[in-house]
Amino acid sequence: MIEKPLLVLDFDGVIVDGIQEYWSSSRRTCLDILSAKEKEIISFSSEIPATFKAMRPWVHHGWEMVVLAAECSHKNSQLNLKGIENFSKNYSIECSLALKNWGWTPSHLQEALNQTRREAISNNFSQWLNYHRPFSLVTQRLKTLEKEGIEFAVLTTKSIEFTKKLLECFKLQPKLVFGHESGSKIDVLNQLLHKRIIQGFIEDRRTTLEKVLEEPKLRSIPCYLASWGYLKPQDRNNLPSDIKLLNLDTLKEPISNWS
């Protein structure tokens, strides 16, 4: 067991606001994989559609963004016909149906999205980087953790490849980085607990934190919902007592004061 405590953080919505990059990359991926006939009937805005932004809190994997980009841009899609509220109520089922309608698979979309990002980085790295807006108060706070004798780790469903590039540009040096290649967040936290004392887990997906609390072995981990992240409208309401709503003012304080 390593004695130095570890603070674990999600990436998108906690350390960085990447909605501009998500739209740009998802839009480009759609344009690359759609047939010529499909492109004739679908209009992709250069501006981020309001529907795309509103659906962001439901997204768990990058490939889902490509589905949402296509659904937002086709006026007769199920998302546009049913509306955000109805689509989001059965989000996983609706995404599966959309995949079937478009003739896509998650693995195909994820690899296509990854390739789009690699090309964006290769062709215009500064533009790709500027599409990501780090939460400055969060990045500043992470740089002060060392003074408290605490290390931090990043646990994300984003690819490790792109996460590390961004962290390097933000001048952040986490002790560990876990991406979608590392397995589920629950599995990673279970593995970490065998080696480290976890000081806290900051996440902007309430459902992920609730899954952590359902695991008896993980109940010792203090769970924090990032108030500045991609939250669903009702996420702040009636939080379980073991999930604390963390705001940026509290984040500045010593971690011992968070609870």
pLDDT for 40: 87
State mean pLDDT over 128-139: 96
pLDDT for 97: 96
User: Which DSSP state fits 85?
Assistant: H
pLDDT for 166: 96
State mean pLDDT over 104-127: 96
Higher pLDDT, 106 or 40: 106
Tell which residue, 163, 153, 160, 158, has the closest CA to residue 195.
Answer: 153
The two tokens of residue 194 are 């065998």
Residue whose tokens read 């009636």? 238
Domains present along the chain, CATH in parentheses: 2-17+134-257 (3.40.50.1000), 19-128 (no CATH)
pLDDT digits (tens, 9 = 90+) for 216-225: 999 999 999 9
State mean pLDDT over 250-255: 95
DSSP line for 7-23: EEE-SBTTTEE-HHHHH
pLDDT digits (tens, 9 = 90+) for 37-90: 998 889 899 899 999 999 999 998 999 999 999 999 999 999 999 999 999 999
Residue 95 has pLDDT above 80, yes or no: yes
Distances (CA, A) of 40 to 29, 35, 73, 140: 16, 9, 12, 46
pLDDT for 1: 61
pLDDT for 41: 86
pLDDT for 2: 72
Residue 130 has pLDDT above 70, yes or no: yes
Cα gap 13→23, rounded to integer Å: 15
Q: Count Cα neighbours of 66 within 13 Å in the Cβ-side half-sphere.
A: 29
